[in-house]
């Protein structure tokens, strides 16, 4: 289990495949293993060396229950890239991982060759701020929802109507969500970062080629907010994938992987 001491923490990561490196960054509460079901096989088959990591806050990486900032997490990824000696490299992030990726591309473009931003945004609107505040208040009140109820709420927030209406698929999703571990102190610290500052003007300074992937049924980072990021970053490409919610890379991995691999392997990426 590779664990390195970087940026003041113990950071866990995994590697697969050989070739040009791709670093993959997950969202709030998720470990790097989530990528291994669909995205890691697609990228290794395309000839890439894939590095997945557990973000600060997610064991076995240091949980840092005292709290941390988005820039701390950007520093973690930068330090890992430097430790492995793979910069500039391709970086893929989803949700909170996309926030980290776009901030890394802005502050350390020397480390990023190309970036894929999945389910991202560059500001926090009223509804997303309200959702974050409500979830933090619920957590801090010590309220423990029945696991099946929590699974249903997560499904409604994260999946598309197409998946929600598929009884067989939903049985599997609900079982998976119900078995997910409760949020620990590190995940609670990550929740604070969902209220992203307004960063669109800053992102006009990102010099790295970027691909934004949005999902038409995403309630957590809706497509119009992702479109704003693509419009802000000079030359960024934008892809809207229908029939998917926030977990679109799991709901329709074939389409997501096709867009991602084509962008990362394009002639300009070499």
Name residues whose C-beta falls within 8 Å of residue 264's C-beta, 6 or more positions apart in sequence.
Answer: 22, 43, 46, 48, 90, 92, 114, 116
Whether residue 95 lies in the annotated active site: yes
Residue 210 in tokens: 């970027």
Whether residue 246 lies in the annotated active site: yes
Whether residue 160 lies in the annotated active site: no
DSSP conformation letters of 85-131: T--SEEEEEETHHHHHHHHHHHH-GGGEEEEEEES--SS--HHHHHH
Options 54, 72, 76, 218, the catalytic residue: 218
Q: For the chain, where are the alpha helices, taking DSSP H only?
A: 39-45, 70-84, 96-107, 126-140, 147-158, 161-164, 167-179, 185-191, 200-203, 223-232, 248-251, 253-265
Options 54, 76, 160, 246, the catalytic residue: 246
Helical (H) or strand (E) element with 4: strand 3-6
Options 95, 158, 160, 194, the catalytic residue: 95
Provide the annotated active-site residues. 95, 218, 246
């Amino acid at each position: 289990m590779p664990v390195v001491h970087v940026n003041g923490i113990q950071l866990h990561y995994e590697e697969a495949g050989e070739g040009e490196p791709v670093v993959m960054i997950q969202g709030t509460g998720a470990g790097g293993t989530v990528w291994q079901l669909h995205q890691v096989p697609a990228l290794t088959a395309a000839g890439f060396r894939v590095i997945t990591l557990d973000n600060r806050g997610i064991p076995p990486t240091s949980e840092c229950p005292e709290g941390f900032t988005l820039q701390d997490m950007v520093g973690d990824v930068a330090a890992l890239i430097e430790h492995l000696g793979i910069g500039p490299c391709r970086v893929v992030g989803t949700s909170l991982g996309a926030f980290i990726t776009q901030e890394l591309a802005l502050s350390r473009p020397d480390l990023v060759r190309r970036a894929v931003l999945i389910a991202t945004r560059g500001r926090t609107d009223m509804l997303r701020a309200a959702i974050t505040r409500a979830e933090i208040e619920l957590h801090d009140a010590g309220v423990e929802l029945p696991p099946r109820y929590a699974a249903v709420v997560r499904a409604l927030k994260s999946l598309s109507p197409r998946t929600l209406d598929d009884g067989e698929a939903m049985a599997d999703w609900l079982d998976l969500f119900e078995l997910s571990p409760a949020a620990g102190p590190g995940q609670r610290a990550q929740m604070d970062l969902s209220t992203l500052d307004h960063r669109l003007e800053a992102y006009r300074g990102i010099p790295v080629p970027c691909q934004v992937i949005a999902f038409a049924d995403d309630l957590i980072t809706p497509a119009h907010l992702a479109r704003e990021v693509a419009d802000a970053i000079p030359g960024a490409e934008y892809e809207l994938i229908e029939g998917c919610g926030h977990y679109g890379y799991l709901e329709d991995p074939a389409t997501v992987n096709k867009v991602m691999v084509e962008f990362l392997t394009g002639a300009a990426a070499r």
